[in-house]
Amino acid sequence: MVGPDQKLLPAITISILSVLACPGCGQPSGEAVEATVLGSPPQAAVQTVAVRAFSDELLGQQIVVEGTVVQQCPSVGCWFQVDDGSGKVLVDLNPAGWHVRQKRVGSRVRVAGKLVRAGAEYRIEASYVEFRVGNTQSDGQQAE
């Protein structure tokens, strides 16, 4: 006769093996960040540029964009999109190794980084991100 504990052993063994066989599944490879500031602010004077003013002449340069987070990577938080009132731009956090899993949609943000192009779209590879304290998020909760 098989006891209740012996019936659970195969299920427990399979669960443990699946976790060991797939370490890190569903986890971001970089640092998970819940902070309001990522990186160090630019040391030199960096130009604040409106999204509508992006041009190929600015490619590779460090710029600053300020606006509201309107979309965020739903899985690991490796990017978010900022609307500065003149347009939207994707902010890529991967080059810095950052991932923001906390909901930031609706938060005011200041981003410094290098302007790059991905196909026909401009993007910012972030080197500094500051989520503004006290701004409300779209779900009505306070941002950190």
Domain ranges of the chain: 31-131
Q: Which residues of 84-108 are buried (b: 16+ CB within 10 A; e: fewer)?
A: beeeebebbbbebebbbbbbbebbb
Residue-level pLDDT, tens digit, the chain, 144 residues: 555 555 544 444 433 333 333 233 234 444 444 558 999 998 888 999 999 999 999 999 999 999 999 999 999 899 999 999 999 999 999 999 999 988 999 999 999 999 999 999 999 999 999 998 654 443 333 333
Q: What is the pTM of this model?
A: 0.69
Q: Tell me which CATH code domain 31-131 carries.
A: 2.40.50.200
Residue 8 phi/psi, 5-degree rounding, is: -80, -25
